[in-house]
């Protein structure tokens, strides 16, 4: 059975405002939109992920908030293949909205590449270990990730995904690819 939608004057006005990108806010109010061009991304050294280790897994929501970029523009970059490398969706339990997940170091490598700067995963991971007064042995990255467990920053791994993630942290045998 086909239903007919009857447009009221209010619905038409709201639709027009959305298509014209006009604000429904009071006169004089300004809407602050974050800078969203690829050129406006912060440098990898200036990006702030709240002190999370570079091997941490973050969601798109965390990524766009940390970089202060528009979620819609980020989705466009991802669809065009110019976003950071995503982790396999099979590693994670299904969640509403089909979120995408990233390693912080993948995002940092992506930012560095956008600024034509070199990025070294080992140096990044070792710098973090030094900053938290841990031995400069990359095996500690895996130990710290294991200690955090299969739920990181609200991201829930599957059993096989958790094993694959931990195996990916061994840079000597399974180097991280961005």
- φ, ψ for residue 103, nearest 5 deg: -85, 140
Distance, in Å, from the CA atom of 100 to the CA atom of 83, rounded to the nearest integer, reads 11
Distance, in Å, from the CA atom of 108 to the CA atom of 43, rounded to the nearest integer, reads 8
- State pTM to two decimals: 0.75
Residue 106 or 23, more confident? 106
pLDDT at 20 over 70: no
Q: Where are the domains of the chain?
A: 38-168
- Output the CA–CA distances (angstroms, integers) from residue 153 to 103, 107, 124, 136, 173, in the order listed: 12, 16, 20, 25, 26
pLDDT at 131 over 80: yes
**Who's near 30: CB < 8 A, 6+ residues apart?**
none
| pLDDT score at 39 | 79
pLDDT at 6 over 70: no
Is the separation of the CB atoms in 152 and 56 below 8 Å? yes
Is the separation of the CB atoms in 58 and 106 below 8 Å? no
| pLDDT score at 4 | 44
DSSP designation for 37: S
Residue 153 or 30, more confident? 153
| pLDDT score at 26 | 53
pLDDT at 46 over 80: yes
Q: What is the mean pLDDT of the chain?
A: 82
Long-range contacts of 60-67 (CB under 8 A, 24+ apart): 60/99, 60/100, 60/101, 60/102, 61/99, 62/153, 63/102, 63/107, 67/41, 67/42, 67/107, 67/111
């Amino acid at each position: 059975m086909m239903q007919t939608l009857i447009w009221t004057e209010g619905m038409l006005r709201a639709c027009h405002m959305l298509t014209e990108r006009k604000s429904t806010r009071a006169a004089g109010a300004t809407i602050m939109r974050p800078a969203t061009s690829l050129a406006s991304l912060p440098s990898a050294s200036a990006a702030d992920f709240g002190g999370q280790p570079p091997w941490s897994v973050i969601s798109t929501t965390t990524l766009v908030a940390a970089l202060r970029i528009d979620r819609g523009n980020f989705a466009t970059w991802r669809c065009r293949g110019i976003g950071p490398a995503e982790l396999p969706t099979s590693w994670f339990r299904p969640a509403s909205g089909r979120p995408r997940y990233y390693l912080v170091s993948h995002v940092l490598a992506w930012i560095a590449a956008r600024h034509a700067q070199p990025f070294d995963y080992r140096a990044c991971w070792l710098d973090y270990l030094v900053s938290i007064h841990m031995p400069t042995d990359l095996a500690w990255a895996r130990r710290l990730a294991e200690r955090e467990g299969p739920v990181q920053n609200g991201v829930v791994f599957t059993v096989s995904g958790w094993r694959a993630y931990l195996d990916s942290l061994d840079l000597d045998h399974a180097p991280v690819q961005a």
